[in-house]
Every structure is written in C-alpha cells, then in structure tokens.
Structure 1
C-alpha cells in the first residue's frame, strides 16, 4: 500500500517563556497585516480579503496550540503562560476587531461583493463585515471604547473561570465502610489520607461518578454530591459578573437582551424560537418523567425496607444516580460494572477507530515511539496519522490529518471530555494542495492499575464515540478557508454529527463488535446486549429534563431585558429552584453552587446550551434516515462526509442537511427517540 507522506505535526516542547514570546510575535504579525490593509488606496477582494484569509489559514494554528497547554500540560508555569497567551490574543483581537479604519476598508470591498464568483469567498467577506458590525463599529467613539473594555473584561472573566476549573483539586474523605457498594477496583485507586487513614475521593469523573452510582449509604452520596456541586464556589461571583457585563454589552450594541445578540447568528435565530422549543419539550417530557420518578421512588422505598431503614417522603437529587443504576440492574439485568469488563480501553479504542475507518473509508495509524513524527505533550498521549482511502480502496492513501488522544486524569488537566481543534485544514495558495488539520481528544477515563487495564463503562464508550465524532468532523473537513473548517459551524449544530455517531454504541451488532472481555477476550453475550439496548431510554425523560435545567438556567440569565430585573437575580436561588421545578427532584433544602462548574455558560455556550437538545433534532434525523437500516453502509458514510462533514460552515448548514436528507430536517425521529 502506497501512503502519502504526512505533514510535520506541531512540536510540543515549548517553554513558558517561548509561549509568551511566540504569542507576542503572532499578535505583531496580525497587527502588521491590518496596518498594511488599511494603507491600501483601492481595496479589492484580491488585495484585502485574500491576504486576510491566507493569514488566518497559516497563523491560527499557533494561537490554538499555545492556548491548548493550559488544558493539558502538567507544568503549572506552562499552563499559566498559556492562559496569559490566551488573554493577550483575546485582547488583541478585541482591539483589532474594533478598528474603524479597518472596518471602512472592508465596507468598501463589500460594496462589490456581488461580483465575487466563489461562494465560499463571498461568505468569508460577509462574515468579516458582520463581525465588525457586531463589534459596535456603528457606535460613537466613547461608546466603542466602553464596549472594548467590556469585551476585554468578558474575556478575562472567562479565562479565570476556566483556570479555576482546570486547577480544581477538591476531595471528600470517606472510610471503607462509608464506601460500601463502590467497586473495589475503584476504591483501590483512591489515595489514602495520611492523617486520618480515610480514602480520598476527588471530584474527577473516575472517582465521583462510581460513588454517586454505587455507594449504598445515602449520607455518603449526599456528601459526595454536595461537595462536587460546591467544588468551584469561587466561580459563582465570576458568573454574576459575566452576566451583568454581557447585559451591558447587549444594551450598548442596541439589542434588547444578550440572547438576542448571540442567537442572531445561530440556526435558531431568536430567543422566542429557543424558548418555545424548550417549553414544548418540557411539557411533553414532564408527564413521562413523573411516571419514571414514581418507579424510582418505589425502588428507593423497597431498598430502605430491605435494609431496615425508615422510609423517606422525598426522593433526593443525590439518590438519582444510585437508584437509576439499581433499576438497570434489577429490572433490566444491566450490571454496569460487569459490562465495563468487556470494554478495556486499548482494544475498545482500536475497534472504535475501526468503525470510523469503515464508514468513512479511512485508515488510522498509531505512531510508535521511534517514529520521527511522534510529537506529544505528555507520556499518556497517543498520536495517530489519518489517511483517506481515495476512490474507496485504491492502493494509494492520502494523508488527511493528525489525531491525538489524551485520555486519563492528572493534576491541572481539563476535567471533562472535549475535542480541541488545534489546526484547521485549508486549501493552500497553489489552489491544489491542502494544509492538514490537527485535532485532539481530551478525556478523563480511569487509569490502568497493576491488575486491570482501564475499563470503560458503557456511558464512557458513548462519550468517547461522541468526542471522536467531533474529531472526525475536524479531520474530514475540506474547505477553502480555515475559519469554515470542520467543527467551526453554528453552536446549535456543532453537536449534531457527534450525537448521530452515538447511535453506533446502542446498535446490537456494533456493541458486540466493540466488546472484548479484558481477561478472556469474549464478546458480550446476546442477552446482555439486548438488555443494554433495551435500557437506552430508561428514565430518559428525567435525563432530558436535567438538560432542560441547564438550558433554561442559561436562557433565563441571558434574556433579561431590564436593569431592575438584572439586579434582582439571585443565582443560587435560580439554580436550585429551577432544578427542583424542572427536574422534579428534591434538593433536600440544601442550596449548592453547581453553576460554578457550568463551564459551558462561561465560555462559548452562553445562551447556547439549548444547542445540545436543538442539534439532537438534526442528529436523530440523520441517523434514522441514513444509517438506521444499515449502520456500516460505506456509501452512506461517504455521502454524509461529502454533504455535511467536509463542508463545515463554508455554506449554510441547512443547505448541507437538505443535500444529505433530500428534504428539510424534521422533528419526527427526535420525538420517536424520546418516546413521544
């Protein structure tokens, strides 16, 4: 097999000093370009827009890479330098984005936009001009300066919120007796506190989730839940400040609410459509959730009776994961701990990559330690070269990008699961060759022990498939300009491809193919797979109401239109009361600061969390229409790639969906999946 030579991947050996130095040089080049553009007497697409596009194409990867260190480096000085680099870049972009002289040049070019023949180039110009307008270039100088300061303040607050999250090191101490029910494989990985001899449960996913799911003692779960909810209390005032500052920004720009400002460029378009969508979903889900809750409460009563405990009137928020899991075990014979034995990380990842390799006719090759192209930021990281098999099986393979996996928790590392697009793909100046993307999956799965490999619970398999879906969206992009590449699509669509890929983890044949017992190599038996698939939407209404809680909390904070209403906002009450009202589950009279961990609302998803549910409409339609009958159909996979994934945001996403589906998207599959 002939394989095209990969491009050189990024180096990962920067010092903190180099991060700052390279960032300043990056900013200087950007300002120099803008100064040159402003000096042009007769601005055109060729001498203004194309130089900007080429600059973005070549330069943006550097800013992404230097910023990325703050999420993954085990060197605190390097993490701090990366955060400072982000602050410097944000500040420079805000300054340059509010230059009236620059805006005037692009306005002149925009006057002749109808002469532009290439649709993607025309879209690029429209996006640039729109961004200037949304930066308040129509305002008087005093107002522009005020807006500039507000935008910088927002950037700094977001960075501080994120830093607090990444640096979080809280824990709860428990005795072995208090951890009764938690699998020994989990407890054995807990550090022991030298002073008390108790087990230290951190709030990292591999620690907190098993305790909430398996700990038999309600008081243990309660302490774990409350501790986790309050672990980032210091972020509470930051969010208050973010909300009030966003309110000021919206008013300065002439919008009634910040949500109106944000949604203007989203598929939803306006807050009424979002609130109607969420409200209608709540009405449909609530009756079903009430029934689910009744069954869970009954299960709790039976459990208390069996253990000789006094039955409680309430079903508490810290009860939910435990009794949800108990229901799966008792009524569906789904033993999550047992199932995890069939998904050892190494083989599961290999087989998971195999699905994507087949569907999209690609090859994913892991680099060995002696490969000169292997460049990683930590010894835990795996690096892959990805190739597109041209013409479905031609002996010649085309290199299409670099893929990184950073899968285990460590001090200072980003604590959730996410895909980071580090370098976009784009068409080079020769109009023929392409610069290839670099993308990274950052997750927090249990580390292997002396006795066992890292074992993935099924929900972690789903998470991995989801994040790898983002990675594939990135790798399969084929746009002319980097700013439209891969996942650079509207926020209320960006989750749709990944959500559509989650279905493979609930498909009978695919689950069996993925599974391999860590000791025997045996696959999951058919009965257990059938029960697992049957359990997919168990308590699904309650799970979706939880998502609605996040979405409504987000929207309520960003649809405030009057200053007096802003002053009345009590985040603690809103967060806790809204959860009880929507999720139907008691807080036990205890208010927590869970929104301090709500990273989405601090950066990127403000007035946008609804997008997880909104995009699922498209995801479900895609899977039901294209893949449900034949999940591994290569022709349909290539069609999905060519119609949607490769196009990124180079054209309207709805246009891509219509090309794929042969019609406008509908709610039918979404409602069917929810059982409505």
Structure 2
C-alpha cells in the first residue's frame, strides 16, 4: 500500500514557489482587475439564479483563493526582503480592490434579488448555496450597503484605511529584529545549549538575545538573576512599540467609527453578531464568571509561588522580596515543576526530537482519522525555503477507498523576517470543481519557530512545544479534511469563537499517558519516556492553571474593553498604555514593580483576526472538553469515533451552522460540565 501511495503522491500536482517580487505585484493587479470584471458581470445579470450568478461568483473565488493566499503568504516566510515587501504591497492592492467591489450597490441588488428568487422556491435550493447567498448579503450589509451613499462612501474609505494599518502592524511584527544583550554571568541558569545558539558580540563580551521564542523564552524560565529576567520581560513587552503603539490606537478608533456608521452601539456588537456568542453581554458574562472562579485558585497558587521564591532567595543568600513579579512567574513555575513534581523540561525534551516526534504524531492522526501522510521530496521551486517539509495526505485507508486529500507543508525554525509565532496558514482551500464531480484538493502550511538542530543534537521539543505542534497540526488537518462545495466554507472558515476547538480538543492527546509514551523516543537511545516521568508530567497539566488562565482572561478583557467603547468622549480619551497595564495588574495578579510596558503593540491577534474575539480561545475550550470527554476520553485512539468526528465537524467546515453539527455529534446540546471538571477538578 505504501509504495502505491508514494507513487500516487508523486503523481499529484503541487504549487510552484518561484515568483519574483515583480511577478507578485503583477499577479495582484491582475487578480484585482479580474475581480472587478466579475463584479461588473454580476451587476449586469437581469434575472439572477444560482447558475448565472452564484456559480460564476463562487467559481471565481474558488479558483483564485490560492493565487491570493500564495502572493500574500510570502511576507511571512520569504528570505527575500524585497519579495516580502512586494507581498505586503500585494495584500494592500487586493484588500483595497476587495473593499471597493464589496461596497457596490449594483452587485448587492443582484444578490438581494437572487435571495428573493430562492425564497420563492426554497425547497429546491441547495443548503450550501442558500447559506452562501445569505453570507454574501450579510457581507454587503456589513460594508454599509444598507446606508445612504455618503455614509457608504465613508465606511468604504475607513475600511481601506483600516486594512492598510492592519497590514502594516503585521509587517512590523514580522520584520522586527529587536534584541537585548546579556553577559555570560547574567545568563547564569540558562542551559548551555541555548547560550551556544546566541550570537556573541566580542567587542563588549555580551550575547545577543533576539525576541524569537527559542532565544527569549529560556531567559524567562531559567535565568537565576532576577534583574536579567526583569530586563528581558520589559524589553520583550515593549517590542515594536515605537511603530505599532500609534497604529493600534488608530485601528481601534477607525473600528469604532465603522461600527457607529453602520448603526452598531460598539465594534464588539458589529463583530459578535456573526459569532456563536452573538452579544457582548454573553462574552463579558462568560469572562466575568470564569474570572470569579479562577481568582481564588490563582491566589492560592500565588501564595505557593511566593513561598518558593522566599525559600530560593534565602537559599542563595539574596535579599528577600515581598512581591512576586510578572518576570518571576515562568522561573518559579519551572522551579515548582522541578521541586514538587521532579519535572526537568530540558530532560523531557530529550525524549522529543523534532523529526521522530513529528513522525509519531502523524501516526496518531493517521489512526484517529483513517488517513495517511506520505512524505514528499520536493524540488527547490516547490517549496519557499530549503528547510520546508512537504507531505501528501490520503483518506479512507482502512476502507480501501483511498482518496488524495491535499498537501501540507511544515516550516519549523526561526529566521530573519519570518513570522514569529506558531500558526497554520490555509493556502489553498478545497472546493467542488465546475464539473460538479471532481474536487480541487487543498494545500496548507504550519509555520512554527522551534529550536534549530546543532552539530551535536537534533532539535528537541519541550513538552509545551509538542502541544503547540499538535495544536497547529489540528488546524492543518481541519483544512485538509474539509470537503465543501465552496472555498468560502472550507476548513477553518467557521465561526471564529469555534475555530480553535478542533485544535484544542486534540491537545488532550499530549496529556494522555499511553499517547505521550508512544510519541516519545530519546534522541540518543530511542527509548520511550519512563512511566514515572510520564505520571509526573501528566500531574502537572493544571499546575498554576488559575494564573495561566487569568493571563488569557487579561488578553480577552483588554480586547473587549477597547472594542466596547460606545461614545466619542471615551474614544478621544483612549489610553491603551493605561488600560493595558491597569488590567494586566488587576487581572493577572502579577505586578510589574512600576515597570509598565506597551505589550499591546505586539498583540498581533487583536490587530487582525481576533479583534473582539480573543475570548474565543477560552470559549472554544468549553466545546473542546465536551467533545473529548464524550468521544475520546475512554479510548483516545478510537478510529470509529475519530471518523465520526471527522465527517461531522471537520468535513463540513463552515457549510452548516456549527451548533447543529455539535448537537448531531454529541447527541445533545453542548455544555460546560467537562470544561469545568477539567479546569477545576
């Protein structure tokens, strides 16, 4: 079977990654021109139907989704700054034209007429067709098409300005090359392997620490010198602030103006009408209730950490400190894991060499979802960087009806100009081709920042990095296994406050004893991690969960606070610096010793994608826990339940209401019982 699949994988057509900066810009202009022609065509339809309106409309976006995603993706991953800049410019061109086209009254009228025509013969309408038409009309309305001309024009201009600012905010983060310098003495406690990767400035005998995860996070966790951690924490918190502080302020003010022009009380009201939560009251009540439940748990955790800090300072004959600061948390959390649970994360990482762990992880997904990954040997022009790995994915191996599902890329190590976090980029969504029988299969990419291998050791994953990879692969598989008629509903194109659920649900496998053992393989001996170490690791899943989740709550509450402003007076006095730092101290319970930062200037989620939606990370956990406890807790590797979940949740993407899918999967309405049990015991 594997030989056949390898041959079948090699026969598939894969994208080329060889555009020049000039070609990227030309492609953007061509796509914008053709989009305008499409809208002109739709505007001139006299008696709109599915065949003469929705199908050509859907076909255009189906067939051009990859073109757009590819040319705008280069800005996150290309080694060539000129190409990254062209990619950013291409996104601005496409966004500006899209806003222009989606503000056209003539096209809006055509779709309104189509909707009315469908309503007269509702029984004959395909459900996904109807849903698409409804979404199109909603999109037009949310661009101001129900407003008088002057207001509509104002909304359009605001949308263009907003789009440009969001692109610039993201670009500044991606291009950030900030750093901080430390002497070897100041790095006491940081593992030698990590220090060995720092660039040394021989002129001042200091080490250059960038703000990339593999560089800066070990400082937070292992530097014994409190002042080292403090300086690193403050510098990291202020990255990009000289550029993005002002940009984010403008973004929030423009969002307020857009919401008001469209008749909403706040920007949150505008966003949430298309979310599962629906209203800001639902979100704020959810966050408030969770905060009330978490606070006493966190306060108890904090007392334990304070005692640990006092004992540590006394042991090292250092001056006692009454306070427990923000830069103390990661360090003493590591100490707690080591002292109480005998957990050494660097030791555990030895059991998770990157390549071996990936191979075993893919085997998990293969069994659960009845799929198969086949590693490819791409030509240089079939990947954007030499480190990128590529896999073809097949489905229904167990049943013998093997079907090619798409391709996934892994881009796993940091480099200059690359996106600095971990994310899945859905490059080419799948869809049903114009013949109504064959499918265009998707391509997607995981972009992460794990430690690079050295001449002595492979890249070794900390357990939290294993969880991160499992999570992002969950998004990738959602993209690959979806099978919708239109690219508009493909994969992760679901309600934003549900989109994290599939990935969060799959994180549970990283905390299941048998599954952790199967994932592990010591980089020198190949031995799996021993039972005692696994048992200790599993016990740590909810160590300091109160403090950790209060941090998530802080991000969500900051997001909601700045997006629920409902009057000009509040807007004019908007002070992100004050809101950020006051909320941070109040909610996280971790003071900064009067060292406020501008952390919001690097809060990429709030600038684009999760605005008035960051609460979704916590909200989605409720559904994730319910699904896992119901389908997988007793038997995590149950293929039958995995296929059922695959076909009801993942396969349908956003083509149906998510709540309907959840009720079908669970056999009832979802509830928070499993979530509360998981968090609070």
SS in 1 for 2:283: helix
Answering whether residue 396 of structure 2 is matched by residue 389 of structure 1, we say yes
CA offsets 1:180-224 (integer angstroms, 9 cap, x no match): 100001000000014212111111000111110000000000011
Given the alignment, which residue of 306, 317, 320 partners 1:308?
Answer: 317
Aligned to 2:654: 649
> Given that residues 180 and 235 in structure 2 are in contact (C-alpha distance below 8 angstroms), is that contact kept between their aligned partners in structure 1?
yes
> Given that residues 7 and 436 in structure 1 are in contact (C-alpha distance below 8 angstroms), is that contact kept between their aligned partners in structure 2?
no
Query: CA separation in 2, counterparts of 1:277 and 1:493?
Result: 15
> Given that residues 68 and 82 in structure 1 are in contact (C-alpha distance below 8 angstroms), is that contact kept between their aligned partners in structure 2?
yes
CA offsets 1:2-57 (integer angstroms, 9 cap, x no match): 44465311110000000001111111111111111112222222101111011111
Answering whether residue 537 of structure 2 is matched by residue 532 of structure 1, we say yes
Answering whether residue 632 of structure 2 is matched by residue 624 of structure 1, we say no
Answering whether residue 556 of structure 2 is matched by residue 551 of structure 1, we say yes
Q: TM-score normalized by structure 1?
A: 0.98
Query: CA separation in 2, counterparts of 1:436 and 1:417?
Result: 24
> Given that residues 172 and 201 in structure 1 are in contact (C-alpha distance below 8 angstroms), is that contact kept between their aligned partners in structure 2?
yes
> Given that residues 97 and 135 in structure 1 are in contact (C-alpha distance below 8 angstroms), is that contact kept between their aligned partners in structure 2?
yes
CA offsets 1:127-161 (integer angstroms, 9 cap, x no match): 00111111111111111111111000110110110
* Aligned-pair CA distance for 1:286: 0.2
> Given that residues 75 and 85 in structure 2 are in contact (C-alpha distance below 8 angstroms), is that contact kept between their aligned partners in structure 1?
yes
- RMSD (Å), alpha carbons: 1.1
SS in 1 for 2:402: strand
Aligned to 2:146: 138
Query: CA separation in 2, counterparts of 1:663 and 1:403?
Result: 34
Aligned to 1:100: 105
Given the alignment, which residue of 73, 79, 90 partners 2:78?
Answer: 73
Given the alignment, which residue of 155, 159, 163 partners 1:155?
Answer: 163
Aligned to 2:210: 202
> Given that residues 631 and 641 in structure 2 are in contact (C-alpha distance below 8 angstroms), is that contact kept between their aligned partners in structure 1?
yes
Aligned to 2:116: 111
Aligned to 2:133: 125
> Given that residues 8 and 373 in structure 1 are in contact (C-alpha distance below 8 angstroms), is that contact kept between their aligned partners in structure 2?
no
CA offsets 1:480-512 (integer angstroms, 9 cap, x no match): 111101001111000000000000000000000
Aligned to 2:672: 667
Query: CA separation in 2, counterparts of 1:33 and 1:669?
Result: 48
> Given that residues 380 and 386 in structure 2 are in contact (C-alpha distance below 8 angstroms), is that contact kept between their aligned partners in structure 1?
no
Matches within 5 A, 1:8-47: 8-47=13-52
Answering whether residue 481 of structure 2 is matched by residue 476 of structure 1, we say yes
* Aligned-pair CA distance for 1:598: 0.4
Aligned to 2:275: 266
Aligned to 1:489: 494
> Given that residues 62 and 486 in structure 2 are in contact (C-alpha distance below 8 angstroms), is that contact kept between their aligned partners in structure 1?
yes
Aligned to 2:95: 90
Q: Do the aligned partners of residues 29 and 7 (structure 1) sit closer, same or farther apart at CA in structure 2, a change above 3 Å counting?
A: farther
Aligned to 1:181: 189
> Given that residues 368 and 374 in structure 1 are in contact (C-alpha distance below 8 angstroms), is that contact kept between their aligned partners in structure 2?
no
Aligned to 2:618: 613
Answering whether residue 436 of structure 2 is matched by residue 431 of structure 1, we say yes
> Given that residues 18 and 381 in structure 2 are in contact (C-alpha distance below 8 angstroms), is that contact kept between their aligned partners in structure 1?
no
Aligned to 1:229: 237
SS in 2 for 1:674: helix
Query: CA separation in 2, counterparts of 1:70 and 1:455?
Result: 27
* Aligned-pair CA distance for 1:285: 0.4
Answering whether residue 415 of structure 2 is matched by residue 406 of structure 1, we say no
> Given that residues 617 and 669 in structure 1 are in contact (C-alpha distance below 8 angstroms), is that contact kept between their aligned partners in structure 2?
yes
When structure 1 is superposed on structure 2, of 564-573 and 112-121 the one drifting more is: 112-121
Answering whether residue 265 of structure 2 is matched by residue 256 of structure 1, we say yes
* Aligned-pair CA distance for 1:389: 2.6
* Aligned-pair CA distance for 1:373: 9.9
Query: CA separation in 1, counterparts of 2:577 and 2:592?
Result: 12
> Given that residues 9 and 373 in structure 1 are in contact (C-alpha distance below 8 angstroms), is that contact kept between their aligned partners in structure 2?
no
> Given that residues 606 and 612 in structure 2 are in contact (C-alpha distance below 8 angstroms), is that contact kept between their aligned partners in structure 1?
yes
Answering whether residue 504 of structure 2 is matched by residue 499 of structure 1, we say yes
Answering whether residue 344 of structure 2 is matched by residue 335 of structure 1, we say yes
Query: CA separation in 1, counterparts of 2:319 and 2:293?
Result: 34
SS in 1 for 2:405: strand
SS in 2 for 1:517: coil
Query: CA separation in 2, counterparts of 1:368 and 1:108?
Result: 50
* Aligned-pair CA distance for 1:117: 2.2
Query: CA separation in 1, counterparts of 2:602 and 2:14?
Result: 33
Query: CA separation in 2, counterparts of 1:461 and 1:635?
Result: 25
SS in 2 for 1:112: helix
Query: CA separation in 2, counterparts of 1:153 and 1:232?
Result: 20
Query: CA separation in 1, counterparts of 2:312 and 2:202?
Result: 35
Q: TM-score normalized by structure 2?
A: 0.98
Answering whether residue 642 of structure 2 is matched by residue 637 of structure 1, we say yes
Query: CA separation in 2, counterparts of 1:236 and 1:113?
Result: 48
SS in 1 for 2:668: coil
Q: Do the aligned partners of residues 527 and 374 (structure 1) sit closer, same or farther apart at CA in structure 2, a change above 3 Å counting?
A: farther
SS in 2 for 1:408: coil
Query: CA separation in 1, counterparts of 2:403 and 2:48?
Result: 38
> Given that residues 374 and 383 in structure 1 are in contact (C-alpha distance below 8 angstroms), is that contact kept between their aligned partners in structure 2?
no
Q: Which runs of 5+ in 1 are unaligned?
A: none
* Aligned-pair CA distance for 1:374: 7.5
Aligned to 1:298: 307
Query: CA separation in 2, counterparts of 1:7 and 1:566?
Result: 54
SS in 2 for 1:111: helix
Query: CA separation in 2, counterparts of 1:299 and 1:571?
Result: 34
> Given that residues 258 and 558 in structure 1 are in contact (C-alpha distance below 8 angstroms), is that contact kept between their aligned partners in structure 2?
yes
When structure 1 is superposed on structure 2, of 33-42 and 349-358 the one drifting more is: 33-42
Aligned to 2:521: 516
Answering whether residue 382 of structure 2 is matched by residue 378 of structure 1, we say no
Query: CA separation in 1, counterparts of 2:332 and 2:57?
Result: 56
Query: CA separation in 1, counterparts of 2:421 and 2:261?
Result: 35
Query: CA separation in 2, counterparts of 1:374 and 1:530?
Result: 46
Query: CA separation in 1, counterparts of 2:14 and 2:419?
Result: 22
